[in-house]
Amino acid sequence: MRIFRKVVRKLGLNKTDVWRDYFFILLGSAIMGFGIGVFLVDAKVVPGGVSGLSMTIHYLSGGRVPVGLMMWLFNVPLFIWGLAELGKKFGARTFFGFTISSFFVDFFRGDMPAFPSVHFHDSPSVVNLLQHDFIMGVLAGGVLLGIGLGIIFKFRGTTAGTDVFAAVAQKRLAIKPGQTFLVVDFLVITFAGFVIHFKELSQLRPALTLSLYAFLILFVSSRIIDVIIDGFDYARSATIISSKPEEISDVILSQLERGGTIIKGRGLYTDRDRDIVYTVLGRREVSRLIPKVKEIDPDAFVIVENVHEVLGEGFRPRI
């Protein structure tokens, strides 16, 4: 506990923040494990990365090697490599993240010796879903995978795996992480497709179809991760360049009851000084502002942008 307190102080965190983060990493790992273990493994739709490679080994072994165990075994050397290359940022949270997510994959499939009676993937509803509404079952797995990973990343956790490859490649070769993820996931999904095809593991659906589903799941889960980390675009910012900034400001203050800022600027074409109005509004308020601006100044130049987070009076904070 003394070491724990020292680390917390060094990172500038308080105990509440740390326990909150670990709780949500635990929750995200459970959701991720449920999505993979209950839906994707039996559907033979491989999500890429270490989890996808572990599923492929599971198929090659005839189901004798648990997926979660393989995930953990693959991640341990990657974790050690990450510590050596990248230092302490691949520390306790990473080890906790990949360990607990590996545990939950096997837990929900009944592959943990202490919980042999848990078989969520064999429940009639899941079996019926994968047999009669395959795409919905696969999407359910992909959505849960994305939600789980998004929560883990949101609270500064990681599941090691491809994250280590991406971070090291960026450090040593200046390769963008997105490119590393793309290459690794493509190779894993392609490898899994060949294994499923040549081992004739799926009689109902061709291996190519399953691989296409895998790429779909990869896209869906990545989009969900982005939404959870960045949030929905729950606000808009408006930059208004007009010859009548006072009247527009009055509309923002009195009719929309929002604040704003006047920014001094100079037009490149006219070479004249002018005031620029900048304000942040709710999504519905933008549709009220634009007609008012055009009514006041038909020649006004208005830029509206999505805002992921606003910290200040009048807007709810994100976690």
Q: Are 217 and 246 in a shared domain?
A: no
In this predicted structure, the answer to whether residue 316 has a pLDDT above a threshold of 60 is no
Question: What value does the mean pLDDT take over residues 25-46?
Answer: 94
Percent of the chain surpassing pLDDT 70: 90
- The pLDDT confidence band at residue 58, using thresholds 50, 70 and 90, is very high
Q: Are residues 223 and 138 in the same domain?
A: yes
Write out the residue range of the structural domain in which residue 113 sits. 2-230
What does the alpha-carbon distance between residue 57 and residue 51 come to, in Å, rounded to a whole number? 10
In a domain, 145, yes or no: yes
| Cβ neighbours for 222, distance < 8 A, ≥ 6 positions apart | 146
Q: How far apart are CA 303 and CA 217, in angstroms?
A: 34
Write out the two tokens for 26.
């635990």
In a domain, 313, yes or no: no
pTM for this entry: 0.74
Q: Last residue of some domain: 198, 230, 262?
A: 230
Residues 179 and 87 in one domain: yes
Q: How many domains does the chain contain in total?
A: 2
Does residue 165 sit in the same domain as residue 274?
no
Pick the more confident residue, 318 or 129: 129
Same structural domain, 158 and 83: yes
pLDDT at 8: 47
pLDDT band at 169 (very low <50, low <70, confident <90, very high): confident
Domain shared by 127 and 224, yes or no: yes
The domain boundary, picked from 171, 201, 230, lies at 230
Query: Do 284 and 216 share a structural domain?
Result: no
Q: Kindly list the distances between the CA atom of residue 3 and the CA atoms of 7, 10, 182, in Å, as whole numbers in the listed order.
A: 6, 11, 38
What's the pLDDT band for 231 if we cut at 50, 70, 90?
low
Q: What is the C-alpha separation between 114 and 107, in angstroms, rounded?
A: 9
**Same-domain pairing of 165 and 202:** yes
Same domain, yes or no: 18 and 150? yes
For 91-100, letters b (16+ CB in 10 Å) and e give eebbbbbbbb
Which residues have C-beta within 8 Å of that of residue 194, sequence separation ≥ 6? 207
**103 part of a folded domain:** yes
- Residue 173: the pLDDT is 82
Q: Tell me the pLDDT of the chain averaged across its residues.
A: 85
